[in-house]
Structure 1
Amino acid sequence: MSFSANNYLANDSGDPATSSRNTGPVKIKKAKVDEDGSFKDVYKKEISRSSAINLLLYSTLCPFRFSRFYMCLYCTQSYLDMSELVCHTTTVHNAIGKKDLRRVLSRTGKSQPIKVNVIDYGCKLCDSVAPDFEALKNHLVETHKKEIDIANDGVMPFKITDKEYQCILCKETFVEYRFLNKHVSGHFRNFFCDQCAAGFVTAGRLRVHLKGHQIGPHPCTDCDKIFNTLAAKIEHYKRVHAKTKRNICKHCQASFMDYYQKKKHMKDVHGIKFNDFKCNFCSKIFLVSSALKAHERQVHLKNKKFTCDICNYQSHYKESIKRHVMCHTGEKNFKCDICKKAYARHSDQATTMPCNTEALTEHEQIKIAEVDDGLFNDVLAKQISRSSAINIILFSTVCPFRFSRFYMCLYCTQKYLEMSQLMQHTQKEHSGLGKKDIRKALSRTERAQPIKVNVVDVACKLCSTDIVDFDDLKTHLLTKHKKDIDLKNDGVIPFRITDKEYACVICRQQFVKYIYLNKHLNEHYRNFSCEQCGAGFVTASSLKGHLATHQIGVYQCTDCDKVYKTEATRLDHYKKIHIKTKKNICKHCQESFTDYYHKRKHMISVHGVGANEYKCSFCPKVFMVSSHLRAHERQTHLKLDTYTCDICDHRTYYKEAMKKHLICHSGEKNFKCEICKKAYARKRTLKEHMRIHNNDRRFACQYCDRAFIQKCSLKGHMKTHHKDVENINY
């Protein structure tokens, strides 16, 4: 029974304020419903809310909210099972009045239907039980004369027990609440999306949904990827970053894409025992309960929720239906640029690309893979480069890796301190991987990003031919085994790393650390160059990060009042001053220092803390910190001078020392005194000169009252006037 205009108009004018008191309760104006079912009239919303209040007040319906638990609408109690919530509502809130009920419902929007559980259709006024929900509403309207709009009753009915999730409107059953909730929302499609025709209960949900269709640059906050729509960005974040942040092993901090992989890792690597989940219909055992539920529903219960509208094909997964529908539509949106064939799926096109590149002659392959000014501008060049990398990894013993403080496996989350450990792990765990598995692992990196590989003891997996170096390996695979490898753009960066050596494969130069070798290789793979300083980089993202250091502007330090012209100088200041002082704090007096050496020296001299002495293996020198010992041995005894002057062949272990040395050749004097206009090559020399103008006589003689601006003047004074004094300390 719906409300009629005569029942709800107080007078002919339709103004509730002028209604007669003798007509009973104040009636509400009948609202028109638009064709799309939207609640656009405020009176219609009021009628809907009044109907909901009367249903809750005079029937045994149980209102609830849901957010991981079934929550009471009247208080803050929450329960795992609906039966517990029903028991709580009937015992605690059974006598709630209309005024209290309206106040509780005021927390939700008037256009938002109230979720109710309707296990039994009982009437509180006469203790009768209706056969269904519609009969209950008709009973309250006709028998007890309660104001309820049958069409828009303001509630969203569910039938939830501990074993069943059923839709009241169409009697369909589901295995979880979230599936039932999504289905029931389809019956209350008050607001529609014009682009994808999705329906929503409230305008708020529609507004959130419409943001997913907004076209524009949506960069991911956790990585460098950019997406056209907000929905694509959110989907990427949920699949990649949110899952890996949630699924972290508490024993080794390794991250995983899902809970199953994390649990499997903890069982295999750390030996932790978990409860097994056995199937009730067959002998299969599963590691997680969700996998067991999916197996039982799909295999034994045949609970296929998604159906094709054309051929009635059914599937347990929504994505399977989407792929199946392509068979009927005939759409082929993915086209091969080489042979012009079109495919319905992107995966089919990617599978044929290696076949097409193999059909090309060597001259055609190299022609396609030509690089203009070191830039990977051609999509085919990137594809051939990646295909070459896959073939090199697949048919040789090179060890692919990533590096971030540790040597990390390209195929899994394992990481090691030594490269030899990673090579043993790769050989043992991933030696039998196929082309599909390798391609999947490499898909996590950009196609323009070469893959880092270690080429120590490199060999061919297809035969026992002796391989001298990495170039011979590529030529061998191309000529003898006819593998698709572009010799010019092979898609890899070769390293030669052992526990004692860091060597460049291209120029044979050796380094003392991985970071120096990695930086050096940018000179050989200058795919992207900086126009301002000429620095070369392997990828565009590395160049973007570098270009930010050249941007001129006002960059203020967040920890002090200093302001810098470039971001690079601000970061350098922050690292040298604030980060180091935050790390190097004396635990006895809380004094901070710029480096560990000065902190250690302070603790020994002031607090009497015992010092660890590091003795040189070649001479009797002793050092306070191990890094000083290593630098001393490499520079003094091993003669490992990393930096060489191009003009006079002067060599040094430190980059800063080389910069200071080059000033001797350039003759530049960029530091000028504003008082006497003298210019100096170094800022330190200008500071020493400014003492003359400031009359800063900091070097005082301890035997007379003379003081000097420069230390050399004090030395000359001591030799002239106090030459009889022994053991002079300057």
Structure 2
Amino acid sequence: MKQREKPYSCEMCGSSFSTKSDLDMHVNTHTLEKAYSCGLCSASFTDRSQLAVHMQRYTSENPYHCDVCDSSFTTKSELEIHVCSQIKVKSYCCEVCGCSFMGQFQLQIHMQNHSGEKRYNCGACDLLFTTKSDLNVHKQIHNRVKPYLCEVCLLSFRTQSVLKRHLQKHTGRTTYSCEVPPSSFTTTSGLKKHLQNADEKKPYSCEICDLSYASRSGLQKHQHKHTGERPFSCQVCNLSFTTNSDLKRHLQKHTGMKPYSCEVCNLSFTTKQYLKTHSLIHTGEKPYSCGVCHSSFTHKSYLTVHMRIHTGEKPYSCEVCSLSFSTHSDLKRHIRIHTGEKPHLCGVCGSSFSQKAHLKIHMHTHTGEKPYSCEVCGSSFTVKSNLTVHMRRHVGNKPYSCGMCDSSFTTKSELESHVRTHKTRPLSQTL
């Protein structure tokens, strides 16, 4: 078959097109020009066909129907995704990690995670991305644009998918249904988790720990924990991970992407779980309680760390000096004593520090800020510990006692200075 001639080339990326209108439409993806606007909301689009599809959401026109169930969809691609989810066919398998996909295009995009290929460049910060959609979402961070507006409560969102999920809270609409047992869900992830719990058939078992999985790819991902294999590598800092989802979460630290926003205070987070934990601050809910002292916590991991106070467990050991710590972060800070690493740099004078808290205290010397004030005399201090020592002078607290005489002191340094006077006195004066 004769290949169609493509005489129109893009000067920015070299792509070729058969018609000038196709080229013009493509150029808009570089310039982010969206000339076609919706008259009902603030959404805008790069070409007329996208606007036409968008308008169907208001007219409730869903021309693509599923032959298996009664569902109907606005676009053909939405119907194809739905049909694949119904028959659960994922015939395109990754030979590196075992993940499977419904289409060859999805597999090709996934393979770029292993090859490290990143063709899409951000002009503002030079970061590279695997897909154009990832680049477009990232660009909104620079622009601080949230173009998708909820007309009910006027909150705005960076992506249409997040707005769509948010709207379901107002409408109460449940889009994804399970027939056995009858249940409905607002997100595909909710339906997927439900199906995994409902389906007792998990034919793929781990020979090491006897855990079972519904799919071969699920078992292969699990086995990485036993083998220590980490096939997913970060191209920025060379850290590697056992799963692609772990890598994606890590990459958000480099890109600055925080796609999950709190609807109460608009703070953004890198993962849905972080947002969920943060939301408990507004509700005041602390569902995890300590059975020993009845302290309660917003997150299960906080309770786990707290319990080590009672048990004395210190599972993280230093390989250099054998000191043990209750948390991995404590061990990490300790190791810097041996390595001399000081990763936290002051942007004003170039001083570096082993801990972020130390840098924060140091910055007060540049800003002159003294956030800790004495309620008795109004004196203020750069660090809380200095205020604590100062308060002892008001209350007369002298916790440091001399072992040679009856003197006591407010600070350890005052005691040390006093002890030296005993050492320098003649023997007859000390008797």
| Range class of TM-score, shorter chain | 0.3 to 0.5
Q: TM-score normalised to the size of structure 2?
A: 0.41
Q: TM-score normalised to the size of structure 1?
A: 0.26
Rg (Cα) greater in structure: 1
